[in-house]
Structure 1
């Protein structure tokens, strides 16, 4: 049976608020760009099976942290999900159907699997857009439990979180307030945009401008005024020889972000394209 879950329409996503944006459905919609015959219902049923196989056990556990430990054991030890340490930047690690099939993924895609299974079992697991590797978090009695999905759901203490954040914050470890802000739950929109940014980075680094441009275009379906996505789509169009599209996107980027660090380079590209290189 095909698509027992209804995938959203790309053109509807910008109108949905973050709470209404379906996480699994949109992640599979992203994958369908690369795998047009993808059967979304198959993967929804797979997740249901993952959860059903341990529902009685989870219901019998009283504490959130112990429930999560059992879920992690089921996913990472019994079912064999694991971080793809050997081919971290393989784009298959960002396509959820491939993650289900191969049982390999990157931190973000493994977090999506964790979150979907945990939530189906009544465990309120959220994602964290931590700098570097994506993490997950669970409220517990005395605060929040933060875990690393790329390393079998291993819990992380405050000191390790500070050290992980340090290289992304100019070498300074965040204080308590800054760390608390970093650990805020990520919205569905933020998670899905991070999936697409990862794909854009992999494809642009490899010179696959058709797929890189597609990833930037999909970002704009989620957030039409995202300046970086406009720039990235414009540069992708430029590489592909679509000069009119490049001109429109790069000009719009400068309107939204006139003091961007790369503004001079973007203006130079516009001049090359026959534009004025100035925006009001």
Structure 2
């Protein structure tokens, strides 16, 4: 099976020592939008950043820069969180978010990060459970920005409250929840969103494409190896399914004296696959 051109470009991008998040996200989108002009959207981000740059004061105090970014993105351009149709897959594609001015926390954060990088304002993504934020990377700057909520500025206690709104009081905020998320894991999270959406819609080919790219980013991920094997099984790709599921059983840390539902299910599937050939 030939590898799509967008996938090949995605592979090249993630092999770089310094992943260009915007470019990589657009290569993800190009698999679904073959006519997407990646350079056109990167130029649009350049133009946005140039307009922000013109508004910056000589003294770049972090809160002033954040307020200018917020005003530009959310008031002048009208970007907003899509709470009405949160699970629309278009919310996960950077080109659609730029065109429609609406998205989910991770894609709105990605635009925020891309503009901040272009104006030399150090920021990082923060992958809290269930919600994505950005934060300035300055000493003693314990503040966070929520692009899904119009750039609302949060302190750690606010992040705890946001987490409680999503999950209730059962999940306490941990220090690692607020640490910067590396670009590679931001892309994993973006693709995981797409995987979940496509699985909920029974769009198995698209779900498989998302899992395949996750495994390019984190090849050691056993849960995603299992998912690829199960999706290949459902799609009739017996050889790949056998290979992935056998490897998963070999590598997964199952306890020899305990029964594990994953192990039972996959052994049953492998027994069925013995009767098939590609």
TM-score by length of 1: 0.87
Q: 2:268 corresponds to which residue?
A: 268
Question: What is the 5 A alignment of 1:122-201?
Answer: 122-140=120-138, 142-166=140-164, 171-174=170-173, 178-179=174-175, 181-201=176-196
The CA deviation string for residues 138-193 of structure 1, in whole angstroms up to 9 with x for no partner, is 1345332111111111012222212333565981423xxx33x2111110100001
- After superposition, residues 1-280 of structure 1 pair within 5 angstroms as 9-12=9-12, 15-17=15-17, 20-140=18-138, 142-166=140-164, 171-174=170-173, 178-179=174-175, 181-259=176-254, 262-274=262-274
Provide, for residues 3-58 of structure 1, a one-character-per-residue CA deviation record: whole Å limited to 9, x for no partner: xxx997344456444xx222111111100110111101111111111111121322
8 Å CA contact retained: 1:83, 1:107: yes
Q: For 1:91-129, what per-residue CA distance to the aligned partner results, in whole angstroms no more than 9, with x for missing partners?
A: 000111111111111100000000001111111111011
Query: Alignment RMSD, CA only?
Result: 2.3
- Gapped runs of 5+ residues in structure 1? 1-5, 276-280
Partner of 2:3: none
Conserved 8 A contact 1:10-1:221: no
Counterparts of 1:47 and 1:8, CA distance in 2: 23
Inter-partner Cα distance in structure 1 for 2:7 and 2:269: 38
List runs of 5+ in structure 2 lacking aligned partners: 1-5, 255-259
Distance 2:20 2:138 in 1: 25
Contact 1:125 1:138 in 2 (8 A): yes
Contact 1:8-1:26 at 8 Å conserved across structures: no
For the structure 1 residues 172 and 104, does the alpha-carbon distance in structure 2 shift closer, same or farther, using more than 3 Å as the test? closer
Partners of 2:138 and 2:216 in 1: CA distance: 35
